[in-house]
Amino acid sequence: MILSNNIPVDITAGDHVFSVLISSGTVSFEFSIDNLAFNPIEDASYSADASGVLSLPSCKFKALITGSADVALRIQKLNV
């Protein structure tokens, strides 16, 4: 799934693989449970290409792009 800047998507609980490609700027991730305020995910702010695994509850999830970043992000649930 490709995420757009500051557009929440529904995520199911579990471990998710992400991949971020950045030409310039930064990207960070936030999540919201039960439609409450969004909270930043600690240690999930990037200014260069990155990938990893996030363990998430069922929630709304979004990427925040700053500067002029071009970001391709893929969230894929493991052990489906």
Residue type, 23: S
Q: How far apart are CA 31 and CA 18, in angstroms?
A: 14
Two tokens at 70?
């071009």
**Which position has the higher pLDDT, 67 or 5?**
5
Q: How far apart are CA 12 and CA 65, in angstroms?
A: 23
Q: Which pLDDT does position 71 carry in this prediction?
A: 67
Where does the pLDDT of residue 79 fall: very low under 50, low under 70, confident under 90, or very high at 90 and above?
low
User: pLDDT of 22-68, one tens digit each?
Assistant: 888 899 999 999 999 999 999 999 999 888 888 899 999 999 988 77
Where does the pLDDT of residue 15 fall: very low under 50, low under 70, confident under 90, or very high at 90 and above?
confident
Domain ranges of the chain: 9-77
Q: Which pLDDT does position 36 carry in this prediction?
A: 97
Give me the sign of the Cα torsion angle 30, 3, 11, 56: negative
